Structure 1
Amino acid sequence: MKNRVWHAMQQLVRFGWQQALSCVFPVVIFASLALTQFLPLPWLPRYDWLLIICLAMQVWMVRSGLETSDELKVISVFHLIGLALEMFKVHMGSWSYPEEGWAKVNGVPLYSGFMYASVASYLCQAWRRLSIKLEHFPPLWLSVPLAAMVYLNFFTHHYWIDIRWWLFALVVVVFWRTRVYYEVGVQRYHMPLVLSFGLIGFFIWVAENIATFFSAWKYPNQTGGWHLVHIGKISSWLLLVIISFLIVAALKQVKSKGKDAKPMLNHQTANARTSQR
């Protein structure tokens, strides 16, 4: 019993370390938000310094080998997707960036796209470090339109009904059988993909509270002082996680097929030592 507990503790530490390495880019963003909030930097507005820091971090991650060129391409796509969403949401009054900045487009500082890119960075890093494999992943003709519907709902719900709960139900139906397999040390574990969506969405909501505390952006009810972000925002981040994961998974699948490799894990090849997490 003692050996089993000790082994479980070791595995937890290994898993936590790999997660920490996968979160390097998000951690740098949060540290920069805190630093520039309490120790203003000279010559440029805060938002512009944040953009410079994010760009410098991306260059360092690629040059140091911490991030691959393919991962950089995925992150750049998410930066553009995030900026488009930010410009629309700021225009609709969902939140604002009240501080000055030279690198602002339609009221949105360009560094904000990196906050979305950091989610993609985490997914790419964790995918590689934990040797992620998927079992019973739906075909691209089903998953890609679903990701598009989720993204479009962020825009259309301002003019039409909000169908996020229908989309959640559809995600559960489509991915009910999908399992995520990951390695910790020499052992493989797995969990339902839908559960992993929920866990990542929750932790991003926690991160959002930290970001708004350091004035990364402000919701209308935070203009007079910081308040905890409404718990309902978890649903928005959950949708964002679903989009991010589906795009990364689709790109991984396309690339693997191009190399005549099997991108997903089928039931017969599952490691015999796999255990439920």
Structure 2
Amino acid sequence: VESATQDHIRVTLIPGLNPQIAIPRNQLIRFGPVLEPTSIAFKIETLVSSTVPIVPFIEADRFSDVAILTSISVIPDSLELIGPRSSLDTIRSIKTALIHPEVRGLQISFPSEAGHNQSVSISPEKRNLSVEIDAPLDLSRLDHHTRCDRDQVKVRLVLSPSVEKTFSSLPVRFLNRPPGLEVGVDSKELTVTLAGPAEIIESVSDSDLAPFVDLRPFRGGGVYTATAEIPLIERVSIRGAQPRTFKITLTPRGRDSESNADTPVPLAPKTEP
């Protein structure tokens, strides 16, 4: 009740709340006109359908010490949405809920909300291990006007054991030597440890690594510290490098040797510091 006098009362009725008004016995009631609002605006849209890809969302780094995620796929790989065009135009993809693997020794388990946990045991002899898990979809971006044909998918993971390999005494190249300066270094070799799928690690050779130090930032004489860079190899990580930094000493050359300064060498496009 908004207001009341001896002659009338004013009531606001809110749709959906099912209001009840009690009338005193032996009293008459007469309903007057609706005062406000005088009109109600509606937005009417045609329902349309849209198919969007499903993107798996997994914390793969949790098991990177024991296994490498070789491939991941979703079954089915797309989702059909039905709703107003204005809603569907903002949705480009749907993610799965976060897949949070647990690692105990060489066993990786994938907890499920339904209680059907999947697990796989990693061993150096077994490669391309496949595991299929149930994953709910993250539908939090859908409004109440939009519906879809499913709320859960299967995610198939292919895992390979992670192995390590150490490459010793790799020669380090010193690129882009500044003209007019002599370059002195405390070491010219590097030892690198790589980790990744066995089938890739076994095929890596010393020539694939080719570590280098870029001297371009150093222009004046003095003592500097530089970090060795190592070209990246797909699906392979660098577990360690020794030494990783080098002590660089730059001293002026004689005038007669300035014309023999090293020509700058272009850098590799992909490197890992």
More strand, by proportion: 2
TM-score between both structures, scaled by the size of structure 1 = 0.17
Q: Which structure has the larger Rg?
A: 2
